[in-house]
Each structure stands twice: as structure tokens, then as C-alpha cells.
Structure 1
């Protein structure tokens, strides 16, 4: 199982990298088996990212980072907040990826800032970005303001988000076993109904008004049935 961390922190030491490391440790610590953990520091790739925009070709280090991200089973992405949004370096890195590179990939989003008033950056900036890239964003995002370090609540959010990411990574990397209804043969009963599995029966004759045997139930009828 390959887990890749993308950190857009600029300072050394960096609270952004610290949050990324805590999220990675919590995720890897829950894994049932070995985890191949890779860290992509965008600060070290800033020049190659800029050159990629001007000449269209990634440098050696940027190319390796792109390969790590696109081949990962799960991503942890953390950015500092600049002007109430993600940093330009963070956005630029994901701009150089192929438009389908993150499709279906589990992503845990995180951000750091100087004040808790920027916590909604996760919902109004990061989550829409990765939804546009068709990634699968875990429900819990983690924002850490300056006052959150060492305070109650941050570690619980980290553990919850890590558990959600690992659950998605496991579900998408381990083949699922088909249930009885998926593998059961389809047969016709003596009453003329087509049966799929032991409990599912589909009318063999078309319902009135539809040639495929199904009738659309208006929402008003469904609502009335629930109220009854």
C-alpha cells in the first residue's frame, strides 16, 4: 500500500509539514500491513514547477514527484493558507498533473494557518479543487491554527481523518468478493417472472406506459407512502 504526502510548507521547520507528518503517522499506524510512505516537498520543486509551465516538460525531481502522486493508493495533501485560500505553489503543482491523474484516488485534505477564522478554507477551496479533479475526498479535513497545537481536539480530528483515509484506501485496493445476488444465475419462474438470485424478482411483462417493465413512481407518491 503506497501513501504519498504532499506538503506545501515554505518555512523550516514548517507547521504544514508537521501536520502532514502527524496525518501520515496516524494513517500508517492503522494499516494492517507495511506502508510505502513517500513525501513530496513542494518547496524543493518550485523552480521545476515554474519551468514546466513555460517549457511544458517536468524536470527530473518533478517527474519523480508526479509519478509518486499518480501511483499512490492514497494522498495526504496539506497547504498553508495564503489570502484565505491554498498557496499558489500548492495549486501550481496540481495544475501540472494530467487532468485524469487523481480520478478515483482517496485524498485527505489539510491546512494550517495563523488563526482559526481560516478553517473554512478546507470546504471552500481544497474540497472543490479535488472534487473537480475527481478524487475521493475523505469526509474529515484537518485544519490546524496556531492555537490548535497542543490543544484538545486536534489529535482526535487527525485520528478520525486517518481512519477514513485508510478505510478508502483499503476498499479501493483490495478486490471485493461478489455477493450472492451478483453471482446468482438469472432464471425464469413458473409464474413468468425473471428472478435474479434468491430474493430479487423483476416483472417479465412490461408495466403500463413503459416498454422495459418498470414504472417511474412520482416523488409525491413516494412521500405520501412514507407519511402513511
Structure 2
């Protein structure tokens, strides 16, 4: 039995060969709850076809979107996941604005468990053995002291591809997380390697991604 949620799109990030879309419900009894639409393939990404509208355009940040789902995803630590009806177009019902986001900000005491860092990150991952129960894995936050670094983080290990990573503080804790917002990645890679201090950033959507090699990584899925 299918069901619909209408969301404001707060993430449209890279995931495998597709996208990870997420947003908050904008009406009804569950208003304000996060929803992460997931696809029907094994890897669960949202394809370009999945996020398409009837007019040929595709879902973007701040779109108001009515999406039809078939069921919640099988139990996972990502509590927000719902499987889309991939035979139904998504329906753009309106357009949100940056000014709408102040009323949607989350206030967790921390961005999940801290104290676990990758080679290039800071507090950027959670061990898989701590992820034994469903939990909230998406937050819209207002970061402080943001800097953005473009570099080939894996060069010492034979990987010359560049990454874009933001370092910031939240509740007096330092984080350094990869950015997976495609437009922001493209912009900063175009500026070349280096460290940048953007003044215009107000909000991040942060996501605790699926597990890989024993950890779930904290990602910046959208920059506003």
C-alpha cells in the first residue's frame, strides 16, 4: 500500500552513480520529520530517472516535492529511509527559500558519537558496532568557523583524485567532514587546491552515511 510525503529538499548529494535525496516533511502529523527517499536497487541510490518530474526537470535543493513511497526500508540504523515507488513521477508542488531554513534547524548536542577520525578527517566517522539500533541520521545545523579545503587526500596511498572537506565547529566541538554536495564540490575544485574561508555559508545538512569498511561516515550532504 503506497503513501505520500511532501518534503522540502534539504539534500541532493552524491551517492554511487546517483544521488542521496533527503528533506523534512512540511505538513501533516509528521511535519518536521526527516525523510530519506531510497531507490529500489541494491545500492539504494536515487537515479536521475527516480528524481525526475513530469516536465523533464529534476529535484533540486529547496524544492517542495510530493513523493510516493511503497514501504519503510527494512530495519537499518538510518531511521529516515523510505522506499520510493519508482513507477511514479515526483511532483514539485512549490519552491522554498533560504529564509525558510531558520525554522527547520536541528539542535543535537553533538553530531553523533565523537572521538573517531579518519586519516584526513576529524570526528568524521562512527564505528559500525555502535550502530545497533535505528537513530536519526540527518541534521540541519548552523556551523561556525567554517573553512573549506581542496586537496588530494589519498595521494600518499596512490589516489590522486581531489576531495573537498569542510572544517567547522558545532557546540564547541571541531569537525572535519567531506562535502558531497555536487555543486559545491564543483565550485571549490574549480578554484584549485587550497584552503578557503567562505563568509556566505549559513547551514549544512549533515548525514551519517551507510557503513563502509567498518565505519559509517559523517558527510556534509548540502551547503546553504
State the TM bucket, normalised to the shorter chain. Answer: under 0.3
Structure (1 or 2) with the greater helix fraction: 1
User: TM-score w.r.t. structure 2 length?
Assistant: 0.25
The higher radius of gyration belongs to: 1
Structure (1 or 2) with the greater strand fraction: 2
User: TM-score w.r.t. structure 1 length?
Assistant: 0.24
